[in-house]
Amino acid sequence: MLGLGSQSAVATEAGGGNYPNGAESYLVTPPPPGIYTVVYANHYSADRFNDRNGKSSIPNFSIEANSINPRVLVVSPELWGGQRFGMMVLIPVVNLTVHTPALRQERTGLGNLNLTLFATSDPLPNFHLAYGIDIFFNTGKYDPRAVANPSPGFGTYELVFAASYSKPNGPQLDLKLMYDFNEKNDDTNYKSGQVFHADYAAGWNAGPLTAGIGGYVLRQTTDDRVGGIRVGSDGFRGRVFAVGPELKYNFDPIQVWFQYQREFSARNRPQGDNFWLKTVIRF
């Protein structure tokens, strides 16, 4: 699937972004023409916030985020040049708990509305491409005085390119590349930097079952700024790598995914564990 709305376990302003990394795995490109309901259930937890050197920087820190992310997906029949076009709309519901040395806070609310516009095609047998834009509107629950916010407090424009190779009873290879342009948080005057990130997966199809590994990689490319001034000596640039096992089963017309990802080498952000359960139903 091409896009997904905000989980907002953390923000770039505190080490993350609007897009929940690792949400996509097998079949990152949109499905055949039709109308679909997609539901993502996510649990993320971390007990450390790493500094720019990868060392734990906040004593007694922990974060736990649970979210339900329902989405409606529409894909057109083939139109101009064999292309199919489509759109997706998603509004996440997020429960977030944050522990710091000073307090414990739990808040629940809506994350940012996500709209995805895309085109997709099949240029070669078993090979699928998609490209488009994700728009995260700053509509979610946010309080600049809180440490636990279901929304990061800013919008994002995300360019997306995805490719998938899927052979029945053969290899399954998927890659989704994204580049984020973040808006300024008007409540804090904080401008999060631009971010390159990717979801990936590699596995083997055996009838209705697909099994393998997957994860994500993130690298911030420009500095965070407050009032135009760079944050810290390194611009508070974040990065992280994650990998873990992934399973998909096709019950037809329902498909189910399970994903676990362990984070490594985090810089200027939390480092923890990510669990996903996803279902897709075609009408």
Q: What is the pLDDT of residues 233-271, one digit of tens each?
A: 999 999 999 999 999 999 988 999 999 999 999 999 999
CATH of the domain at 72: 2.40.160.40
Question: Considering the domain boundaries, does residue 4 fall inside one?
Answer: no
* Res 252: pLDDT: 86
pLDDT (mean) for 176-203: 96
* Res 28: pLDDT: 82
* Res 183: pLDDT: 96
Could you tell me the pLDDT band of residue 283, with boundaries at 50, 70 and 90? confident
Tokens 């979801």 found at: 199
* Residue 225 to residue 188: CA distance in whole angstroms: 11
* Res 54: pLDDT: 94
* Res 79: pLDDT: 82
Could you tell me the pLDDT band of residue 8, with boundaries at 50, 70 and 90? very low
Q: Domain range for residue 29?
A: 12-282
Question: Considering the domain boundaries, does residue 3 fall inside one?
Answer: no
Question: Considering the domain boundaries, does residue 89 fall inside one?
Answer: yes
Q: Per the confidence metrics, is the pTM higher than 0.85? A: yes
Q: What is the pLDDT of residues 205-238, one digit of tens each?
A: 999 999 999 999 999 999 999 999 999 999 999 9
Question: Considering the domain boundaries, does residue 1 fall inside one?
Answer: no
**Residue type for position 79:** L
Which residues sit opposite 36 in a β-bridge?
73, 282
For residue 1, pLDDT over 60 is answered with no
* CA angle, 159 then 161 then 162, to 5°: 145
For residue 65, pLDDT over 60 is answered with yes
* Res 189: pLDDT: 94
* Res 3: pLDDT: 41
Is residue 27 exposed (0-12), middle (13-18) or buried (19+ Cβ within 10 Å)? buried
**Residue type for position 125:** P
Which residues sit opposite 249 in a β-bridge?
209, 256
Question: Considering the domain boundaries, does residue 6 fall inside one?
Answer: no
* CA angle, 61 then 18 then 249, to 5°: 95
pLDDT (mean) for 97-123: 94
Question: Considering the domain boundaries, does residue 156 fall inside one?
Answer: yes
* Res 5: pLDDT: 42
pLDDT (mean) for 85-111: 95
Question: Considering the domain boundaries, does residue 7 fall inside one?
Answer: no
Contact between residue 17 and residue 180 where contact means Cβ atoms under 8 Å apart: yes
Question: Considering the domain boundaries, does residue 270 fall inside one?
Answer: yes
pLDDT (mean) for 159-183: 97
Q: What is the pLDDT of residues 18-28, one digit of tens each?
A: 999 999 988 88
* Res 15: pLDDT: 60
Domain count, the chain: 1
* Res 10: pLDDT: 45
Taking every pair of Cα atoms in the chain, the longest distance, rounded to a whole number of angstroms, is: 59
Nearest to 157 by CA among 180, 125, 124: 180
